[in-house]
Chain A
Amino acid sequence: MSKSFESVQEVRDGLKKVNYLADSGIAGVVYLAQRLGKPILVEGPAGTGKTQLAKSVAEMLGARLIRLQCYEGLDESKALYEWNYKKQLLRIQADKSSDSWSEVHDDIFSDEFLLTRPLLEAISSTDPVVLLIDEVDRVEIETEALLLEILSEYQVSIPELGTITAKQIPMVFLTSNNTRELSEALKRRCLFLHIDYPDMDREKEIVLTKVEGITENLADQIARIVRSIRQLDLKKAPSVSETLDWARTLILLGIDHIDAQEAKDTLHILLKYQTDIAKAAKELSVDK
């Protein structure tokens, strides 16, 4: 990493400059991760800005973001590296006559025939990078083991080539939606950060920075209504991104002061289940 943070406040200000409002917890963990050279495991409800955090940190550092989207069935040929079989085959056929076997063998297992995948690319890159391993809970528990070496030692072992060690330690973010318990081994190697729904004041500020042309008054009202809705017992509470969608909708509709009727009419942007909408409408309705 080219530059190193001096204080938590510096991280916070830096993130604010790229329009990410971090609370002291988030900024503190990012600061620590960089100082200690450890990956961050980010957990929390959907739509609270987990992936955005990695993107914003990359933007703040002026680093390239390398993203590995996890899914069931992800394996090392897609996450780490793969040999370029076709090219190897061509090489063998190209000059059958001259080389001895051992020469060919050494030759076809060299850098030239190696296809780097996100993890290896992040390690071998010379310019600053931020590695984002998205939705790590989607891979099987066995595949998780692939990540362990890179997360603790920042190196990748390739049997034919030896060990490739990182030229510089990248910042690593892993996000998880908590659909399953991650293994102890993985958790132990990471700093843990839980991003929850923001409190009212922070949400208001987020709305103010992210939505253009919004008045302070409306942002305040939005934040307060969203807080009230989150207190209800819902299947899926509104996320920050849904709050932002709602704010944008209200702007488009030219509303600058929400009354109960308008709130009711636009609830479907905040909530995605019919029962939730009905419940919230009842709670906020005029004829309570």
Chain B
Amino acid sequence: MPVLDLMSGFIVELRNAGLPVSLTENLDAMEAVKEIPLEDRDAFKYALAATLVKSQNHWRAFETIFEVYFSLRGPEYSIAQDGSEDSEMWREQQDLQMQGEGKGQSGGSMDGLTPEEIAQMLMNALMNGDQAMMKALAKQSVQRFAGMEPGRPVGGTYYLYRTLRNLDLDNMLDRLMDANKQQAAEELTNLEQRLEKDEFESRIEQFKQEVEAEIRRRLVADRGAEAMAKTLRKPLPEDVEFMHASRDEMQSLKKALQPLTRKLAARLARKRRHGRKGPLDFRNTVRHSLSYGGVPADPKFKYPRPAKPELMVVADISGSVAAFARFTLMLVYAIQGQFSKVRSFVFIDGIDEVTSYFKNTEDISDAIHRVNTEADVVWVDGHSDYGHAFEVFWERYGKDINSKTTILLLGDARNNYHATSSWVVKEMQKRGRHVYWLNPEPKSYWNTGDSVVGEYGSFTDGVYECRNLRQLEGFVEKLV
């Protein structure tokens, strides 16, 4: 039974993508699918989602894999256009269907249009929010502009780029806004303009997704679901590496960070409250024994109140590791209630204190933005110089380190072959409570080339690999 085969392939792929699908969940999914009429694709999707995906973070991965495995299939999506009987028949059927639904004038009749005419039609469709037309146009433009060839080993993004370039989608928004202005009877207020703009943006986004889906369908038809899923496989947000995150991944990382900090803060606060019991509290026990006539029936214990650590974050914000520093600072400040005091310093080859940026502001991302633009971190040439930065740090702020201070050093320790001045780290460890080094590079790269993390590391209480949110979260929890 093909559906069953497809299902098991689908579930294997989900597991490959990192979703924890257990055996019972697998069975539940099979059970659920039985209750759903197979032709209702939407319901089918939600049935699978409800039984297999148990975290919102995994939804995107699920959706992509679902689209690959259960996309609409048929010869009309095949890339090769040899005009065989089979595909002709399919196309005709498709046209008939469309006309039957009263969404005609598209489909086959579009073949004769020039690219400009198609762009014009697209603009009209976007203007009026004509869904059926947008769909038909997406199909048509992929067929025309993507230049897909069977068996060609390029990813979907390449075809997407080619299609969108031909439609001049970048300027579409401006043109839509202009056209809208001319159409309106009276001058639009700024508020209305803004709302119109948002509306058009969402429609353009919808069109893009339509094009993407169309390309994917064709690729699946060409290469088969399994191979396609493999090329589309992306790490889950918590596994994305800081150092190689694309812009989209950065966005999803940012989104994942917020609930994560909330969870972390709640967990840490709970841990603090529910710490283990301490030694017998003699005074308290005696006081309570009075109500039992002097018999200490109800022993009382002291609850240890561990002092909150003071934290100093010293972060390299040079290009390669900037993203990592940014996320760590965000995370630290989001849970700053767990520390008695947080001070932060950033450096490239010069060093600057940025604690004040985070004071009196609720908006952490705003403060981070100021760190990136205003902090005075360049001394000579703007290439990382850990040695000099550490020396200046010791000179200016070294005296503020005391036995309660925990120091976090963030960076890849790629020192451009400058002097390391690792004695500073040694002194820090002597004077402070703990010194930790967080390195966003994979462990196998440490101490290769100009990385000197080993030399610094020997004077710290531990060097940790922090390549993704999962590792970072784990470390912070340990810290508090």
Please report A residues at the B interface, Cβ cutoff 8 Å: 8, 24-25, 28-29, 31-32, 35-36, 38, 40-41, 43-44, 72, 140, 178-181, 184, 187-188, 190-194, 221, 224-225, 227-228, 231, 233, 235, 258-260, 263, 273-275, 283-286, 288
Contact = CB atoms under 8 A, between A and B. Distances in A.
Contact of B190 (A24, A140, A273, A288): A288
Contacts of A193: 50
B54 interface: yes
A227 B56 contact: no
Contacts of A285: 190
Given A191-B50, A193-B50, A228-B194, A180 B43 contact: no
Interface in B231-289: 259, 262-263, 266-267, 270
B164 interface: no
Contacts of B259: 178
| Most chain A CB neighbours (cut-off 10 Å) among B32, B36, B270 | B32
A231 B198 contact: yes
Nearest to B265: A179
B362 A273 contact: yes
A259 B189 contact: yes
A14 B198 CA distance: 34
B79 to A, nearest CB: 32
Contacts of A180: 263, 266-267
Contact of B191 (A24, A140, A263): A263
Given A235-B363, A285-B190, 15 more contacts: A25-B46, A28-B43, A32-B36, A38-B28, A44-B56, A184-B20, A191-B51, A192-B53, A194-B59, A224-B198, A224-B199, A225-B195, A227-B202, A263-B191, A284-B194
Contact of A179 (B24, B50, B262): B262
B25 interface: yes
Contacts of A35: 35
Nearest to B33: A32
26 contacts: A8-B36, A8-B43, A24-B42, A25-B46, A29-B46, A32-B51, A36-B31, A40-B50, A41-B54, A43-B56, A178-B259, A178-B263, A179-B263, A180-B266, A188-B54, A221-B195, A224-B198, A224-B199, A227-B202, A235-B362, A235-B363, A263-B191, A274-B362, A275-B363, A286-B190, A288-B190
B471 interface: no
B22 A188 contact: yes
Given A28-B46, A28-B47, A273-B362, A181 B199 contact: no
B194 A32 contact: no
Contacts of B42: 24, 28
B32 A32 contact: yes
Question: Which 10 pairs, one residue from A and one from B, show the smallest C-beta to C-beta distance?
Answer: A28-B46, A260-B191, A191-B50, A187-B54, A35-B35, A192-B54, A29-B50, A228-B198, A275-B362, A224-B195
A271 B396 CA distance: 42
B56 to A, nearest CB: 5
B24 to A, nearest CB: 6
B40 interface: yes
Interface in B10-65: 20, 22, 24-25, 28, 31-32, 35-36, 40, 42-43, 46-47, 49-51, 53-56, 59
Most chain B C-beta atoms within 10 Å of own C-beta, residue among A38, A181, A191: A191
A65 B59 CA distance: 31
A214 to B, nearest CB: 18
Nearest to B23: A188
Contact of A228 (B31, B195, B365): B195
Max chain A CB contacts within 10 Å: which of B40, B46, B202?
A: B46
Nearest to B274: A140
Contacts of B53: 192
A286 B191 contact: yes
B39 to A, nearest CB: 13
A116 B194 CA distance: 57
A184 B56 CA distance: 14
A213 B327 CA distance: 48
Contacts of A8: 36, 40, 43
B190 A260 contact: yes
Contacts of B56: 43-44, 178, 194
Interface in B389-411: none
Contacts of B194: 228, 283-284, 288
Contacts of A225: 191, 195
B54 A259 contact: no
Interface in B189-227: 189-191, 194-195, 198-199, 202
Contacts of A178: 56, 259, 263
A235 B32 CA distance: 37
Given A191-B51, A224-B195, A228-B194, A24 B46 contact: yes
A260 B53 CA distance: 42
Interface in B362-421: 362-363, 365
A278 B54 CA distance: 36
B361 to A, nearest CB: 8
Contact of B47 (A32, A140, A260): A32
B198 A181 contact: no
Nearest to A225: B195
B365 A233 contact: yes
Contacts of A221: 195
